[in-house]
Amino acid sequence: MAMPKQPTENQEERRKRGRSNLTWFLLILTFLGVLAGPTMVVLCLGMLPTLVALLTDRSKQKSNSLCVGSINFIGVFPYIMGLWSGINDFNASLVIISDFFNLLVMYSAAAFGWFLFLTMPSIISSFVLVLQQRKVAQLRGEQKDLIDEWGAEVAAIVEVQKMEKKEHHMEHGMEM
Amino acid sequence: MANALDQAVETAAAQKDVPLPQEGEGSVSVSDNQRDTPPDTPSNPPNGTQAGTTASAPPASNGAKGTNGAESPPAPEGKTESKAPASKPKGKSTGIPEADRNAPQPALDPAQFPPVELNGRYLIYPSMALPDLNSPQAMAYAVEDRRESGRQLFALICKPGLPVRTSLMRELKAQNINGMIPMADFGPVFWGPIDQTAVAIVFERPLGGRFLDTFGDRPPRVSEYELAKLLIEPVAHAISELQAIDFAHRAIRLDHLFFMDKERRELVVGECLSSPPGFDQPIIYEPLNRAYAMPSGRGYGMSYDDMYALGIMTVFALLGVNPVARLSDEEMLAAKAEFGSYQCMCGNERIPMTLIEPLRGLLSDEEFERWNMEALDHWLNGQKKTPIQRRPATKPKTPFKFGGRDHMTTRSIAHAFSKNVPEAVKIIKNGKLDQWVSSSLGETALADSIVGVIANCKVNEGSPDGADDVLVSKVCIRLDPHAPIRYKNFSFLTDGFGAALAVEYLRKGNFQIPGEILARDLISFWVAAQSARTPDITSQERTFQTLRGFAKINEMGYGMERCLYELNRSLPCQSDLLRTTYVDHIDDFITALDQVADHVDTRSRPMDKHIAAFIATHFKYDIAPHLKALSDKKEETSLIGLLSLYALMQWRMKIPTLYGLSSWLGGLLAPAIGTYHSRTTRRRIEQEIPALVRQGSLPELFDLIDNAERRHVDTTEFDEAQVAFAHAEAEIESIVGEGVDQNKAALQVGERVTATISIILSMIATAVIIFVQTM
């Protein structure tokens, strides 16, 4: 019978940290809810796509969430400003969110955010690729100059490092 | 060049080992009562050996005995060709041994071989040979003195490679020795007939010729009344004056006496400079301990040894014949060992009463008993001296049988053992020897020491220290501590090791056997076996310990080559590069090498083991770091070591220019320049070298190649370049390295940028909204 896997220390730590973050988040949310309830109602409902993006974005950088969230916020912010500049109570916030057009504006902004995130990175990445190739060519040129001046032994350290890396990989492979 | 090659000097020959007959070859034991005097006929040789059964070498009795029956070994590659020396048929009737002198050479064309100048004063004529004045190791030629025309001179051209007695030459140049042939000058000359540089020694010409030649075909007999005045006195003068300057002649023999004047009144001893001490002496003239050594290993000796030779010579002159002519060398040595030299030589002869006393004194086998100059002077002045009573050696109860002979003394056994190692090993290992020493001789201490040697060799069995040759050598030392060290037919006295080493190298081109002797530390064993530790022995022991240290180091400037030059300080450098020159002084060395540079393949290095050892021996400054660098396996380090050494020598010796050597070294420096990492620095050095070569300055060249500041800058900048290269590589790796998905990474960058743009847009929009709302 296979033994159940023991959770590693890192996983345990991450879980603890996640728990404490959630606690803080809820605490702040409660505090803000008490302090600015109407605003929080508009914000929470208007930023729902962002919440969805946050839940679906598995990347470390959370670029998707940031992108959607930022544009989504542009759609939500005018209504919050209206709330702050006019009557700032729960009724007013309910009126705002119950208006289909308002929600359309907010969610369209989020959709635009989604659209930006779907189109922009590929365009930018092609630019980045070109820039990287130029950078590599420039670095290779510098290396060639160094070899011309100092001989192949100038790369000795690099060769040694590569060899060590290879050996390390082989050892690692053997262990596996 | 056939004629020239004929004239080429022969390689010094080694003492040929005379094989002893094996047991059962007609050996007969001699009863004790027969042992009082040596035998006088071949029918009754010492120890009962039948005549003609012993030696395979021609016996000395056949007249002109070669120097110990020497035979010429094959010359080593690159060495002077060997040629059997011609022997003179002089002593055939008398049996008096003579050293072999070179036979007359075919005349050379004066046009092809013009006179050679020595020291700007003497002209030596290769086309005018004087074979009558030849020495065994040197050929004689006519000489003209440019300053004193009409002066009667001749020159001896020594064999290249054979160690000559330069220190004595210097003494003789400064002062004349009465009773010895006067030397005018000496020095190296390029000798065309052999296409090499050799030492030339100029002497006054003996106008009366050789002493022996005056007798024609008659025996060279001198009456007892004339003997002292005519022969003993002048020779004694020579011995005495040489002793005063701390030298021994070591070539006193009947065939080496000359008359300086036409009237034949002034007798002198011939030269002793053209070969190592005692090298040319027939065995009979040598005291027993030196006679057992090979010719080159007989050692410097002392006036005592000259006195012995004088005694032997006196016997020959008195009798006109050799009384032991019928005995072979081996038999003669055995007889001398058993009966004593005087008894052996004069036992069966009628010696005048007046001469018994001096002959007993001169022929004493014990050095401390032998007559010295003082005793001889007393006798010459008519004063009586208490006659020496010979104390006979302890007689064994039974003779020791070995090699088909009965031996009565440990000395004789030791000598026989050294000639037949395989048989000796059997006898030693089966315990017969120590048993005989203990029971028959009653020498229990000696027997115990032999057992100790056997046990020690058993412990080291399988290793070189336990080899049979070592065992026999050590046992021989124990049996006869005063005899030479004998190992694999290489026999020498400690003061003769240097000359023996030089001749061995001349003969074989290697140091195999002497190297083994040092490695096995036989000399320390010999020192330990000596009953008395004289200051001489202690000093020799120290010297040999130092040499052993040198021999162990297999690096440039050390090894056996270093031992060779340490022991033969007047020996010229034996490097192949300097083969045609004669460099025996460090002051001449670097300039000689500079001159050689124009005639050699400059792709080779101006360095080899001989050069390094020669410099290490003669150059008085500390060059250990240079030698270390020189021996480095890396070519570039070795080259820098070489350049630094020669630069140091040029600087210390204050030699202004060395164009040839600078050019030679400059052309070799590519690997040394390659030690700089920077290609720019290398190019700059390469461009600067020709200018420095034209200056002929090795220190400048060295400073260019190995400048500390330049090297430091180069190293520092190289380190920085390495770091920069590594950084660049790391950056490249991060972009296009193994395991990096470039597209994915670019997409991630794109996502990050998009997110950033969105945030910026959001902030701008928020600011605009706030601005619009507040307006």
Q: What angle, rounded to 10 degrees, do the helices at A63-85 and A48-56 form?
A: 160
Q: Give the pLDDT confidence of B28-46 residue by residue, as tens digits.
A: 333 333 344 444 433 333 3
Residue B659 has pLDDT above 80, yes or no: yes
Q: Which amino acid is at B284?
A: I
CB B522 within 8 A of CB B515: no
Q: Is residue A2 within 8 angstroms of chain B, CB to CB? A: no
Query: What is the pLDDT at residue A27?
Result: 87
Query: What is the pLDDT at residue B160?
Result: 83
- Smallest CA-to-CA distance from B504 within B514, B495, B519, B496 is with B514
Contact flag A71-B747 (C-beta cutoff 8 Å): no
Residue B204 parent element (H or E): strand B196-204
Contact flag A154-B773 (C-beta cutoff 8 Å): no
Q: What is the mean pLDDT of residues B558-583?
A: 89
Bridge partners of B626? none
Q: In this structure, what token pair is assigned to residue A172?
A: 């690692």
- Left if phi > 0, otherwise alpha if psi is -120 to 50, otherwise beta: which for B24? left
Contact flag B721-A67 (C-beta cutoff 8 Å): no
Contact flag A123-B773 (C-beta cutoff 8 Å): no
Buried b (16+ CB within 10 A) or exposed e, B239-260: bbbbbeeebbbbbbbbbbbbbb
Q: In this structure, what token pair is assigned to residue B745?
A: 């990474």
Q: How confident is the model at residue B57 (pLDDT cuts 50, 70, 90)?
A: very low
Mean pLDDT lowest for which of A124-133, B518-527, B565-574, B594-603?
A: B594-603
Distance from CA of A115 to the nearest CA of B (A): 11
3-state secondary structure B298-313: CCCCCHHHHHHHHHHH
Q: How confident is the model at residue B417 (pLDDT cuts 50, 70, 90)?
A: very high
**DSSP for A60-103, written as a single string:** SS-HHHHHHHHHHHHHHHHHHHHHHHS--SHHHHHHHHH-HHHH
Distance from CA of B763 to the nearest CA of A (A): 8
Higher pLDDT, residue B122 or A27:
B122
What gap in Å lies between CA B717 and CA B241, rounded to an integer? 71
Query: What is the pLDDT at residue A142?
Result: 93
Query: What is the pLDDT at residue B78?
Result: 36
Query: What is the pLDDT at residue B391?
Result: 61
Q: Is residue A128 within 8 angstroms of chain B, CB to CB? A: yes
Query: What is the pLDDT at residue A2?
Result: 47
Higher pLDDT, residue B71 or B644:
B644
Query: What is the pLDDT at residue B234?
Result: 93
Interface test with B, best of A125, A135, A146 (most B CBs within 10 A): A125
Chain A hits for B759, Cβ within 8 Å: 66, 70
Bridge partners of B197? B190
Query: What is the pLDDT at residue B386?
Result: 65
CB B23 within 8 A of CB B432: no
Q: Give the pLDDT confidence of A89-118 residue by residue, as tens digits.
A: 888 889 898 989 999 999 999 999 999 999
Query: What is the pLDDT at residue A90?
Result: 87
Q: Is residue B750 within 8 angstroms of chain A, CB to CB? A: yes
Residue that has been written with the tokens 């012993």 in this structure: B54
Residue A1 has pLDDT above 70, yes or no: no
Within 13 Å and on the Cβ side, how many CA atoms surround B210? 19
Mean pLDDT lowest for which of A12-21, B435-444, B454-463?
A: A12-21
Residue B13 has pLDDT above 80, yes or no: no
Mean pLDDT lowest for which of A45-54, B29-38, B531-540?
A: B29-38
Q: What is the mean pLDDT of residues B614-623?
A: 93
Q: Is B144 helix (H, G, I), strand (E, B) or coil?
A: strand
Identify the DSSP state of B103.
P
Q: What is the mean pLDDT of residues A54-61?
A: 86
